[in-house]
Chains A and B, each alone.
Chain A
Amino acid sequence: MATQKQKKQEKPIVLFVNEEKEPLFSKKNRSLVTDPLNDNNPITVQVLGICSALAITVQLKPALVMAIAVMAVVVASNVIVSLIRNFIPNRIRIIVQLVIVAGLVVLVDLVLKAFAYDVSKQLSVFVGLIITNCIVMGRLEAFALANGPWKSFLDGIGNAAGYGAILVIVAFFRELLGSGKLFGFHVVPQAFYDMGYMNNGLMLLSPMALITVGLLIWVQRSRNRKLIEK
């Protein structure tokens, strides 16, 4: 009994110390950021966060803002939950996570309304719906609850970047082919329209976002054979 008590006292609750004593950008840590960009992409491999990818990728600007907003929420919630992971009673962890995420989403929403009002109006409910984005809760449950703050921070960056990258690629094609613009500027020259070229109206409808994501998955898997399920 005595030895057990001693052991418990010996192990203080660690907050900011790098537990594993490995360099900040070790190979393992780097892979936390790079993996979700390709092999473990939240959208194309895990198929999470699809709804928002369909809804806000008509134009590049809202897609980019959305990507940044999600990154802010994922990173901040990952770090916060990772910091308090040893105090959260296991039974109520979901509600605790939800409160944290909800608070962060409200913050992001207010910041957007203050500094980027037009984009905020375009994104409308989808800013608020970040709270339901599976990626946020998924990373908290799968990673932040079991890892230290620095690793969780990197994991958040990686996953949000993987999500944002797909968002931006889809929005690029949809805005270019659907309305002939990029970031709101006309890029398809007028000469094309004079020759009979027309914008593709289907690109503006959400089915085409799904098909574009599907094509990205197709391209990714034919380049990266190990992703194909047997």
Chain B
Amino acid sequence: MSFLRNKIDQLKKPFLKGAKFEKYAPAFGALETFLFVPNHTTKKGAHVRDAVDLKRTMFMVIIALLPALVYGMYNTGYQHFSQLGEAFTFWDAFLHGAYKMIPMIVVSYAVGLGIEFIFAIYRGHEVNEGYLVTGLLIPMIMPIDLPLWMLAISVVFSVLIGKEAFGGTGMNILNPALTARAFAFFAYPTFMSGDKVWVSEATNIDAISGETILGKLAAGKDVAWNASDMFFGSIPGSVSETSTLWILVGAAILILTGVGSWRIIVGGFIGAALTALLLNQFPVNALMGFPWYQHLIVGGLAFGIVFMATDPVTASQTQTGKWIYGLLVGFFCILIRVLNPAYPEGVMLAILLMNVFAPTIDHYVVNANIKRRKKRLIAVQNIKTVS
């Protein structure tokens, strides 16, 4: 270990204060802290410090994302080959998915981290770790055939306008990954919705039917998949959102390590279930009659609630606020899905909407608490004066 430390110290010399590359110290520091916890000490006041800093927290999320990512790669190949009617093995399917997916991940990280490094050097602060998760999330929620340059522009938009304009990691109002998706969704709608984008290379094959289940329902077509397909995820969709099972595995990791808030996750599912149940009572069209439990396992709802709504920066901070926030995310998701035929999937817009309202929710929760305690104080004072 000390050998590695010595080597790094040697490399670090030109980046120290007053040395040649002092300006680029943030970039070096970002790479250094991958290996070692920085030895800064706080100068004023008492601080409670934990070994789990931001970088380790973010890595926990990445580990939680891996099951869904791996299954997403497999499912990409599975959809491609099965729609084509070709015989294939597990590895064929997985490699096809990886071949499609890895360039997207590389582009997302290269562009996003590039902007982060430039801003860190320009503003003279440390490179923040927030993009580690965002960079992986963005390709995971895009259609598999999205051209790489569109992905790159979406990343630029989300990092620059969604995050850096507000002051960088921890200051953003909207979830950066969903900002990127929303940008692509509105800027290049032909690549982000319809029946030709969800199955790999669907545009080259005429016979393919690659609509998502929600897209089919919105168009009034029959759905050939059953509930177990939806749960295990062998359905078309954005890369990693299809398999509820592996998303729940990720959710378990997040909750057990304390990284994600279980209140938001549970609240989100309850909100969606209740709303869908309510709408099931008036089955006017196919989407309103879609069983409530299938609403939970289809589309991006599970992925959004587990990995996006729990983003600690953009979600509500108070415990009660997290319940309200989660319930409303679920509620709006189903509402947008069912009542707005233009958007067959609602979880993206629902979470972005609630991101905007999260500070307001917190404000009222905190104020309610202050009022309650004031009341209690007055009550105690009254008792004292009486006695």
The answer to whether A205 and B147 touch (CB under 8 A), given A211-B161, A214-B165, A218-B165, is no
B-contacting residues, A186-207, CB 8 Å? 196, 198, 200-203, 205
Least CB separation from B150: chain A residue: A198
Q: Mark B29-54, 1 if CB is under 8 A from A, else 0.
A: 00000000000000000000000000
CB–CB A196/B149 < 8 A: yes
Interface segment, one of B109-117, B183-191, B229-237, B342-350? B183-191
CB–CB A205/B149 < 8 A: no
Within the complex, which residue of A196, A200, A214, A215 is in contact with B187, where a contact is CB–CB below 8 Å?
A200
**Which chain B residues lie closer than 8 Å to A218 at the CB level?**
165
CB B342 to nearest CB in A, in angstroms, measures 13
Number of interface residues of B (CB under 8 A): 13
B-contacting residues, A49-66, CB 8 Å? none
Could you count the A-B residue pairs with CB atoms below 8 Å apart for me: how many are there? 23
**Which chain A residues lie closer than 8 Å to B191 at the CB level?**
198
Number of interface residues of A (CB under 8 A): 11
B-contacting residues, A94-139, CB 8 Å? none
CB A215 to nearest CB in B, in angstroms, measures 8
A202–B191 alpha-carbon span in the complex (Å): 13
CB A5 to nearest CB in B, in angstroms, measures 63
CB–CB A196/B147 < 8 A: yes
Least CB separation from B184: chain A residue: A202
CB–CB B186/A205 < 8 A: yes
The answer to whether A201 and B186 touch (CB under 8 A), given A211-B161, A214-B165, A218-B165, is yes
A215–B186 alpha-carbon span in the complex (Å): 19
Within the complex, which residue of B147, B149, B165, B187 is in contact with A202, where a contact is CB–CB below 8 Å?
B187
A215–B149 alpha-carbon span in the complex (Å): 21
Least CB separation from A198: chain B residue: B188
CB–CB A201/B150 < 8 A: no
CB–CB A202/B161 < 8 A: no
**Which chain A residues lie closer than 8 Å to B161 at the CB level?**
211, 214-215
CB–CB A202/B150 < 8 A: no
A202–B186 alpha-carbon span in the complex (Å): 5
The answer to whether A201 and B189 touch (CB under 8 A), given A211-B161, A214-B165, A218-B165, is yes
Nearest first, the 3 A-B pairs at minimum CB distance are A202-B187, A202-B186, A200-B187
- Report 19 cross-chain contacts, Cβ distance below 8 Å, ordered by A residue: A196-B147, A196-B149, A198-B150, A198-B188, A198-B190, A198-B191, A200-B153, A200-B188, A201-B187, A201-B188, A201-B189, A202-B183, A202-B187, A203-B187, A205-B186, A211-B161, A214-B161, A214-B165, A215-B161
Known: A198-B188, A205-B186. 14 other contacts (CB 8 A): A196-B147, A198-B150, A198-B190, A200-B187, A200-B188, A201-B188, A201-B189, A202-B183, A202-B186, A203-B187, A211-B161, A214-B161, A214-B165, A215-B161
